[in-house]
Amino acid sequence: MIKHQLCAQRYFEDFALGERMNLPSRTMTEALFAAFQLASGDNHPIHYDVQYCRAQGMPHMLAHGFQVLIQTAAGAGLFPHMVEESLKAFIEQSSRFLAPVYAGDTLYCSLTVSELIAGRTTGVLTMRSEIFNQDRVCVMDGVQKYLLRKRGTPSHGPTGIQPPSIAPQA
């Protein structure tokens, strides 16, 4: 198998408090709204009917909360490529929606290392997630937690659980 890595591999102890990872910006187009509505099954008109939204006093369609949240997916940046060898699990996520996001808004997302809790062979890396719109208004903040291996610890597949030994049959 050809080993093709996008960037140098990092382990739990390679991260520092305050380290920031920006994700690519994204404009919330009507096509993204339609795709998310199709994927989520949420069919409330506030997410797809412009005239309904305007009748409710909004300038355009209102984004689904999860549609906003997924803009902080670490996979949109380099983080998952950095931890290909050390990532054991994505273990927790929480978020707060602080301001509305409408069709046409451009979102700027970042993840910042906010806590490092070391264990014996692994550690929990906590990242604060933030999303700002084009007017520099924070529309969402939250927390993501990842379980990472420390350097020099054995890897036993994606779960970290060593498979049982199978004794040869006599």
- What the chain holds in terms of domains, given with CATH numbers, is 12-27+73-149 (3.10.129.10)
pLDDT digits (tens, 9 = 90+) for 105-141: 999 999 999 999 999 999 999 999 999 999 999 999 9
Q: Which residues pair with 147 in a beta bridge?
A: 89, 124
The β-bridge partners of 155 are none
- Can you say how many angstroms the Cα of residue 32 is from the centroid of all Cα atoms in its chain? 17
Q: In a 10 Å sphere around its CB, with 0-12 CB exposed, 13-18 middle and 19+ buried, how is residue 61 labelled?
A: buried
pLDDT at 165: 45
Nearest to 71 by CA among 36, 30, 34: 36
Q: What is the mean pLDDT of residues 146-150?
A: 98
CA–CA separation, 127 and 74 (whole Å): 10
Residue 11, pLDDT above cutoff 90: yes
Mean pLDDT of 73-82: 93
pLDDT at 73 (0 to 100): 95
What is the pLDDT confidence band of residue 162, given thresholds at 50, 70 and 90?
Answer: very low
- The pLDDT value recorded for residue 164 is 44
**pLDDT of 159 over the 90 cut:** no
Strand partners, 102: 62
pTM of the model: 0.85
Q: What is the pLDDT of residue 4?
A: 75
Is the pLDDT score of 3 beyond 90?
no
Sole residue written with tokens 């949109």: 76
pLDDT at residue 156, as a whole number = 57
Dump strand ranges (E) for 34-137.
87-97, 106-118, 122-133
Return d(Cα 163, Cα 166) in angstroms, integer.
Answer: 9
Separation of alpha carbons 41 and 89, rounded Å: 27
User: How is residue 81 written in tokens?
Assistant: 């490529």
